[in-house]
């Protein structure tokens, strides 16, 4: 990343243009967060209604988990492709286009006639996910001084975490009353709303004059970029291993009534909000070490999960602690800004490809454990293993990357 003291382009260097007031910056961040809210609802509410759409589509729950993985696969594939293809386009136009594709994918998901079509439509819904967050993070970082980058980025991700607190329980309750298809129909409406807000309020900054697809692909030459992505791709899988089958565990092991489920998912979301806020502050203050701390925190919380599962009161506590590990995203997002050089858009988008690789890997491994007869609580131990594996990758990234760290 360019040195702010010598940079001639304040947008590229992260210095806020003088014409943007604090109120205007806050409004733009809120608009960017609205897109994150819509994405958070579809990503996590789909998991919360997994038993319902499994029954509706005529498949068992471990098989229905592949629908979650299909969405994640769409993110993994779509983020780098859209980031490279959109290298020369203004970021505000990219945000509108990505939300339009997101709206179409979720609208079709609400109408899916079979399990096979649901897999296709969830894959399509995931394609713009990572690219939206990557571009939104760069827009957010361009609005504030360098010392506040992580907090600005975490604000865009805060929309996702607020989605897990408010959106997921609300959509879960609506879906229980009127059918699981409403989950995806509501998300499509939120995406259209986001498109309108971006069109009205997002800054009209032009594309960088030197941006090219080839320059963006330069991010793939950096070992630190790959290691940072590896931390998220593996380490974050622990959270998804548990979350994907949380509803099933609450029903089969805890014995929770259906009306209690939205409250548990809401507590999980509160944990994500708290973790995101703390992580944004910690990343600005400590940098990459904050990621290592979050991975150890996740491993500890996930290890408590199998013991808490039979007791509803304990599940509320442990689910909150597990949600706190969700702050990892903002830490790794700003780390990628430091190590990606000129390929900022691709690196930012790839961060969400990595997390959604984790979103595919975690449920896949947890589903295998359940299908093997190890029980619903085995998802916690799968999560511990993934978090610790991510921590080992973090150790390698930290030890090899320390000499080149930027301020």
Q: b/e map of 308-326 (b: 16 or more CB within 10 Å)?
A: bbeebeebbebbbbbbbbb
Q: What's the half-sphere exposure (Cβ side, CA atoms, 13 Å) at 20?
A: 23
CA dist 395 and 29 (Å) reads: 33
What are the domain boundaries of the chain? 17-404
Rounded to 5 degrees, φ, ψ at 20 are: -100, 115
Q: Are 279 and 328 in contact (CB under 8 A)?
A: yes
pLDDT tens digits, 260-276: 887 888 888 888 888 88
Task: Per residue of the chain (407 residues), give pLDDT as tens.
Answer: 333 333 333 444 444 444 567 788 888 888 998 998 998 888 777 777 778 888 888 888 778 878 888 887 888 888 888 887 877 788 889 999 999 999 999 999 999 888 889 999 999 999 998 889 888 888 888 787 777 777 777 777 778 778 777 887 788 788 778 888 888 999 999 999 999 999 988 888 766 666 556 666 666 677 888 898 999 999 999 998 998 889 888 988 988 888 788 788 888 888 888 888 888 778 777 778 888 899 999 999 999 999 999 999 999 999 999 998 888 877 887 788 777 666 677 777 788 788 878 877 888 899 899 888 898 999 999 999 999 999 999 999 888 876 444 43
CATH code reported for the domain at 17-404 = 1.20.1250.20
| Predicted TM-score (pTM) of this structure | 0.73
CB neighbour list of residue 255: distance below 8 Å, 6 or more residues apart: 312
Tokens 């899988």, residue located: 237
At 92 the pLDDT is 87
Helix (H, G, I), strand (E, B) or coil at 279: helix
């Amino acid at each position: 990343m360019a040195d702010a003291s010598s940079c001639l382009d304040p947008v590229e260097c992260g210095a806020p243009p003088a014409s943007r007031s604090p109120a205007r910056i806050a409004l733009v961040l809120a608009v960017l967060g609205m897109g994150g809210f819509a994405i958070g609802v579809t990503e996590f509410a789909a998991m919360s209604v997994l038993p319902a759409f499994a029954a509706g589509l005529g498949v068992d729950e471990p098989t229905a988990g592949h629908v979650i993985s299909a969405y994640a696969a769409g993110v993994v594939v779509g983020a780098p492709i859209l980031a490279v293809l959109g290298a020369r386009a203004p970021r505000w136009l990219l945000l509108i286009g990505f939300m339009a594709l997101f709206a179409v994918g979720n609208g079709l998901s609400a109408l899916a006639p079979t399990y096979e079509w649901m897999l296709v439509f969830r894959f399509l819904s995931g394609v713009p996910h990572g690219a939206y967050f990557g571009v939104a993070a760069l827009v957010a970082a361009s609005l504030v001084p360098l010392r506040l980058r992580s907090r600005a980025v975490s604000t865009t991700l805060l929309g996702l975490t607020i989605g897990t607190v408010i959106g997921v329980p609300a959509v879960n309750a609506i879906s229980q009353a009127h059918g699981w298809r409403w989950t995806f129909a509501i998300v499509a409406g939120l995406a259209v709303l986001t498109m309108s807000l971006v069109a009205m309020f997002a800054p009209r900054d032009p594309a960088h004059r030197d941006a090219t697809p080839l320059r963006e692909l330069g991010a793939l030459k950096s070992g630190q970029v790959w290691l940072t992505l590896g931390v998220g791709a593996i380490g974050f899988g622990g959270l998804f291993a548990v979350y994907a089958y949380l509803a099933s565990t609450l029903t089969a092991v805890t014995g929770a009534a259906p009306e209690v489920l939205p409250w548990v998912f809401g507590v999980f979301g509160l944990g994500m909000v708290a973790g995101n806020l703390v992580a944004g502050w910690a990343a600005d203050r400590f940098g990459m070490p904050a990621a290592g701390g979050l991975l150890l925190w996740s491993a500890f919380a996930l290890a408590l999960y199998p013991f808490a599962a039979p007791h509803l009161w304990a599940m509320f506590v442990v689910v909150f602690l597990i949600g706190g590990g969700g702050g990892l995203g903002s830490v790794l997002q700003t780390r990628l800004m430091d190590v990606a050089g000129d390929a900022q858009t691709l690196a930012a988008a790839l961060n969400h490809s990595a997390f959604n690789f984790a979103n595919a890997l975690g449920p896949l491994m947890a589903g295998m454990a359940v299908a093997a007869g190890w029980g619903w609580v085995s998802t916690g131990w799968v999560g511990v293993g993934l978090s610790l594996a991510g921590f080992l990758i973090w150790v390698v990234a930290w030890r090899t990357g320390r000499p080149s760290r930027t301020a």
